[in-house]
Amino acid sequence: MKRGVVLLWLIAVAAAAASFLVHLTLRFENVRLGYDVDKARQEQRTLQEVRRVLSLEAATLSQADRIETVARALDMEQPRPEQITMMLDGPAAPELVRTAQ
């Protein structure tokens, strides 16, 4: 009888220890995932800021006044009408070419 009680007690202690280890493992994994999520959110904020800056820079660089200033600095001039070739694509392209000529 005493031997059976000791065996049951050892099984209960082993089960409690195993459940405690599983709990700790899950807790540490939860904390690690929290850090990973925080790192990903920080990277997302950084990338959004970079995108905003690049979008602003693209808008600034594509302004007509700036392009004209750069072209004049490079001694470029307005093209003559015979130098312009219209490049059209799609089902209405032949009609637009006839009306442009």
Domain count, the chain: 1
Residue 72: left (phi > 0), alpha (psi -120 to 50), or beta?
alpha
Question: Does the residue 52 lie in any domain?
Answer: yes
Look up residue 14 and give its two tokens. Answer: 């082993």
Asked if residue 89 is part of any domain, the answer here is no
Q: Is 8 inside a domain boundary? A: yes
pLDDT of res. 39? 98
Quick check: is 95 in a domain? no
pLDDT at 16: 97
The overall average pLDDT reported for the chain is 88
Q: What is the pLDDT of residues 3-51, one digit of tens each?
A: 889 999 999 999 999 999 999 999 999 999 999 999 999 999 999 999 9
30 belongs to a structural domain = yes
Its domain, for residue 59, covers: 2-78
Question: What pLDDT is recorded for position 12?
Answer: 96
Residue 85 located in a structural domain: no
